[in-house]
Amino acid sequence: MAESEQPQIYLVTPPEFELGRFPDQLARVLDAQEVACVRLSLGTRDEDRISRCADACREVTHARDVALVIDTHTVLAERLGLDGVHLTDGARSVRKARKALGPDAIVGAFCGTSRHDGMGAGEAGADYVSFGPVGETTLGDGTVAEAELFEWWSQMIEVPVVAEGGLDTDLVRQLAPFTDFFGLGTEIWEEDDPVAALARFRAAMG
């Protein structure tokens, strides 16, 4: 995942999807907008289900030269030939994942709203750090990652940063100057036309 002046799109799959439909939908979205990376973020822990979904998505992403990473499952990332892993426990597993997957794999870390965790993940070798949710949410304890965190990070830290969770176009406009990637998932997949929804977010990125 390379840095550029304008923020890039980091696409997150729905937590559940139909294997017969979603890969085509994903293909249409990837063909419509430039996407830096796709994250397979499934709610299930069924290894067979995850593997089949990963295979289907990998076929779509790799045909378009887009990286595919998976939430949490470092072992499956390697076994399924994915490009890396997105860790959800801050800095704790970064070194272990890097050692397991090697220097070329993408290792990202979700750090909630914790600047301290973010710095730790960066020092441990994460390729990017993700903060969120940035929008109001009833999930978790309701804490949001404020614009100030992204502004500070962009000034002080070299590691690319992802803003995700509860995004809308106003938040995207506000954060675009300080953010390398926007993690968009349910924000587009729950719309009737994900391609049009993603186009609106892309326009808001400047």
57: closest CA among 71, 98, 75, 199? 71
Structural domain that includes position 81: 8-204
Joined tokens for residue 194: 């994900």
How many angstroms from the chain centroid is the CA of residue 34? Answer: 14
Is 2 within a domain? no
Q: Determine phi and psi for 105, rounding to 5 degrees.
A: -75, 155
Is 3 within a domain? no
Instruction: Indicate if the pLDDT at residue 1 is higher than 50.
Output: no
Residues paired with 163 in a beta bridge: 131, 182
Instruction: Indicate if the pLDDT at residue 137 is higher than 80.
Output: no
Sign of CA dihedral 35, 173, 195, 57: positive
Instruction: Indicate if the pLDDT at residue 4 is higher than 60.
Output: no
pLDDT of residue 5: 79
Preceding omega of 194 cis (within 30 degrees of 0): no
pLDDT tens-digit map of 63-87 = 999 999 999 999 999 999 999 999 9
Is 145 within a domain? yes
CATH number, residue 170: 3.20.20.70
Pairwise CA distance, residues 8 & 117, whole Å: 23
Instruction: Indicate if the pLDDT at residue 131 is higher than 60.
Output: yes
pLDDT tens-digit map of 152-189 = 999 999 999 999 999 999 999 999 999 999 999 999 99
Question: Are 121 and 111 in contact, with CB atoms under 8 Å apart?
Answer: yes
pLDDT tens-digit map of 11-48 = 999 999 999 999 999 999 999 999 999 999 999 999 99
Is 42 within a domain? yes
pLDDT of residue 3: 45
Domains identified in the chain, total number: 1
H or E stretch at 187: helix 186-189
pLDDT of residue 17: 97
